[in-house]
Each structure stands twice: as C-alpha cells, then as structure tokens.
A = this chain, B = another copy of it.
Amino acid sequence: MTATNPTLLSADELEQALRAIGAERYHNRHPFHRALHDGKLNRAQVQAWALNRYYYQARIPAKDATLLARLPTAELRREWRRRIEDHDGDAPGTGGVARWLKLTDGLGLEEGYVTSLDGLLPATRFAVDAYVEFVRDRSILEAIASSLTELFSPTIISERVSGMLRHYDFVTPETLAYFTPRLTQAPRDSDFALAYVREHATTPQTQQAVLEALRFKCSILWSMLDALDYAYVAPARVPPGAFVPGTDAAR
C-alpha cells in the first residue's frame, strides 16, 4: 500500500492523512457496529461481541507493557505506564479490564467462561495477537502510531453508550461503566501519541510507515467485527469450538 515515491508531508498534512484513514477505515463504519448501536442485535449477539472484545481488552495491558519495555526514557515510560494503570487498576475489581467483566456479567456471561477464552472466535485471537506482535516487532514510532485509533474512539463510545441504552433493555448504565472513563482517557492518550508522531515522523518513509501502522490497526478492529458478523449474524456460522449462544456458559 505504500506509495513508491512518497512526498514529505507537513505535520498538519500528516495529521490530516491519519484522520482520513480513520474516516475511511475505523470500525464505526462496519455493519456489525451499526447493527450493535442501532438495536438490531439480539442479546446473544451482544454477548458474542462482549465475549470476543474481552480478549482485546485483556491483551491491551500486554500490548502496552511490550511497548513500555522498549521505550528509552523515563519520561516516555511514565506516559505509557498510565495506560497500563488505566486498564489494570490499583486493586482487584478496578481498571478497564475489570469494568469490561462487569459488562459481560451484566449480559449474563459467567466470568470464568469469559476469562477462560474457551469460546473465543479464533479470528479474534489471531487479530489481537497480531496487534501485540506488531508492537513488539516494529519501530517505536510505528508502535505508538498504531494506538492512534483512539483519535476516533470518543465518537464511537458516545454512539455506543447512547444507542445501547436506548435499544436494549438488558443493558444498564452500570453494565456500560467501562466506557465512561475512556471518554477522558482516550483523548489524553491520543493527544500524546499524535504529538509524538507529528514530531518524530519527519521523513517520507517514516510518515508512510506511520500511516501504514494506523491502517494496520484499523484492520485489526475491522476484522474482529467481520468474524463476529460472519459467525453470529444470520446466516450464523459459528466456527467449531466457539461460543454457542444459549449454552451453559450464558445465562
């Protein structure tokens, strides 16, 4: 996808190009997400979404720790450490991962089943693991750029919370407690990452790498919804071994 003779962009042009990728490829444009927000899914389908998205949430601290281990200065590490604190909390039951389990619990999924990952779609595992690998293997600049989907997340979170509360009687504000802190955490995090990328992507090659990193990250989130849509929306085709709605694991 990388142009053969990319030109040097100004920082503002680079930011515009990043935002254009989000406008085209962020997963708020995916049909499964539209269906989720518009109340077109049943409880079993929302369960499948929350169950699979749990693995993404649970691996985000590993993703961030992988990058933390590679960052060269205490200043950068302090900044990035905050993300792990946000997700893992300061005590049992706190933090983003624990709040996601309140969502799966509120949807009627047993916590032990969710955290066992037994019912995960294989495609979810492959996509999320690919994200952690990317952050381990690529340049620090690309790893930081891959987090820039958070530029677009406040919009999707607002849509999601209001849409789900309006349309689903099995969803409550307590169930959606995960999302409220994200409305302030995500902009803080993406402000930092965007400033870093604007400052450090100063050659045509590194700018193209940064754009490609954001496309890659969008493809992670998009492919997770492809797999959910294929497996759980009519005609549902659940792959062998994955979560089957209505089983013992779901109340």
Question: Which of A9-17, A102-110, A119-127, A174-182 lines the interface with chain B?
Answer: A119-127
Which of A118, A121, A123, A125 has most chain B Cβ within 10 Å?
A123
Copies per complex of this chain:
2
In the complex formed, the residue of B with least CB distance to A235 is B31
Binary CB contact string for chain A from 233 to 246 against chain B (1 if under 8 A, 0 otherwise): 00001011100000
Contact of A122 among B223, B237, B241 (CB under 8 A): B223
Residues B240 and A222 in contact, CB atoms below 8 Å apart: yes
Question: Which of A44-52, A79-87, A213-221 lines the interface with chain B?
Answer: A213-221
Residues A31 and B237 in contact, CB atoms below 8 Å apart: yes
Residues B226 and A240 in contact, CB atoms below 8 Å apart: no
Residues B227 and A123 in contact, CB atoms below 8 Å apart: yes
Q: Is A196 an interface residue (CB 8 A)?
A: no
Q: Is A130 an interface residue (CB 8 A)?
A: yes
A239/B226 contact (C-beta < 8 A), A123-B123, A126-B123, A130-B130 known: yes
Q: Which of A87-127 contact B (CB under 8 A)?
A: 118, 121-123, 125-127
Q: Is A24 an interface residue (CB 8 A)?
A: yes
Contacts of A1 in B (CB 8 A): 118, 241
Contact of A223 among B25, B219, B239 (CB under 8 A): B239
Contacts of A142 in B (CB 8 A): none
Contacts of A122 in B (CB 8 A): 127, 216, 219-220, 222-223
Give Cα A239 to B31, complex, Å: 11
Instruction: Using A122-B219, A227-B230 as known contacts, list a sample of 11 further A-B pairs with CB atoms less than 8 Å apart, ordered by residue number in A.
Output: A25-B241, A31-B237, A122-B127, A122-B216, A123-B123, A123-B226, A126-B126, A130-B130, A215-B241, A219-B241, A229-B230
18 contacts between A and B (CB under 8 A): A1-B241, A24-B240, A122-B219, A123-B126, A123-B127, A123-B226, A123-B227, A125-B130, A126-B126, A126-B129, A126-B223, A129-B130, A215-B241, A222-B240, A226-B231, A227-B227, A227-B230, A230-B230
List the 10 shortest-distance A-B pairs measured between CB atoms, nearest first: A122-B219, A126-B126, A230-B230, A126-B130, A25-B240, A123-B223, A122-B223, A126-B127, A226-B230, A222-B239
